[in-house]
Amino acid sequence: MIPIAKPLLDEKEIEAVSNVLRSGMIAEGARVAEFEEKFADYIGVEHAVAVNSGTAALHASLLAHSIGVGDEVITTSFSFIATANSILFTGAKPVFADVEYDTFNVDTDCIIDKITPDTKALMPVHLYGHPAEMKAIMEIAEDHDLIVIEDACQAHGATYGGKKVGSFGTGSFSFYPTKNMTTSEGGMITTDDKAVAERARMIRSHGSKQRYLHEIVGYNLRMTDISAAIGLVQLGKLDDFTSMRKENAKVLSDALGGLDGITVPVVRDGCNHVFHQYTIRAEKRDDLAAMLNQSGIGTGTYYPIPIHKQPVYTDLGYNDNLPECDKAAGEALSLPVHPGVSKDELKTIIESIKDWVVEND
């Protein structure tokens, strides 16, 4: 089976973890501080705050901006559930804007339609590693005095206009094993705002700056030095991983572009797409996925049910009309693009799809 995702770990990560274990200091410590510093440098921001998941990064980012009951946060329904759930955690209301046909990212015209006096923040997602339209998003935020929290959980190293995502607003990253780099479980908040970083640190650790003095309600969202040790090694490999993802994507697009019933991913001008996923649109998506899976090729459907149609949201009374989002949920199909996919495996994927297109013509 060619897997849809696979973390690439070698002796370097094993040694880094062993060193932490041998030290006996296995909770949050020096490795976490070093990882934060290097990640902040990589993204090009002043501060990075490590937490124990991407979900925790989103949650703590919202809380660090004092978003809560009575506030609305405009986001996309075509994402992983954690995007919207992090808003619900705070007591605020997720409001869903529709998506663009070509990038699957939030449609900035639809954002404007959803703004109310209660809107406090925008939460774009850089889906599949393609940056959201950050110029328009930052302009809307400026005009309406809104906070921007970027869900960059799939977009480590992606750039928009030469600037890394996660540096426009407050960034939230995930290091889950399927992401572009991993720490096992883990996440990171990125910001240039010292006060936001300080508050995020407090929320990460029971609302305290000073041990046993608790100023606000916080959680235990801390990353361990074991995870940070993995993250430091992975961060050093990230640009190579990204190059391989982009090369694989190019091979796939060169071969699959123009096939009947299939639309290959776009890369907008001025954007560096880091291909967390290589996602095509296929009119007969489910048939194509079934054929590929039977041929030993892993595929992903991200996401088969938009968030606003999930039972947890319909039970809350959500009943949005988001036609592009529904269409995307029916057509999106991700193919293996990660750095562990070999040239021969790419050939197998391409030949299988070409044969299927001819047979189904």
Ligand X SMILES: *Cc1c(COP(=O)(O)O)cnc(C)c1O
List of residues contacting ligand X (CB under 6 A):
53-55, 79-80, 82-83, 125, 151, 153-154, 174, 176, 187
Looking at the Cβ atoms of 96 and 356, the one nearer to ligand X is 96
Q: Cβ 85 to ligand X, closest distance in Å?
A: 9
* Cβ partners under 8 Å of residue 245, min gap 6: 129, 180, 274, 275, 276, 278, 337, 338, 339
- Name the β-bridge partners of 262: 282
* Amino acid in position 144: H
We find the least distance from the C-beta atom of residue 278 to ligand X, in angstroms, to be 15
271: left (phi over 0), alpha (psi -120 to 50) or beta: beta
To ligand X, the closest distance from the beta carbon of 345 in angstroms equals 24
Torsion angle defined by CA atoms of residues 173, 289, 346 and 240, in that order, rounded to the nearest 10 degrees: 0
Least distance in Å: CB of 80 to ligand X? 4
Alpha carbons 302 and 166: distance in angstroms, whole number: 22
Distance in angstroms (rounded) separating the CA atoms of residues 285 and 258 = 16
Using the minimum distance from each CB to ligand X, give the nearer residue, 48 or 262.
48
CB nearer to ligand X: give 28 or 356. 28
Strands 208-210 and 213-214: antiparallel
Residue number with the shortest CB distance to ligand X? 54
Cβ contacts of 281 within 8 Å, gap of 6 or more: 262, 263, 328, 331, 332, 333
Q: Which is nearer to ligand X, 178 or 352 (CB)?
A: 178
Taking the complex as a whole, how short is the minimal distance between the CB of residue 153 and ligand X, in angstroms?
3
Q: Between residues 130 and 201, which has the closer beta carbon with respect to ligand X?
A: 130
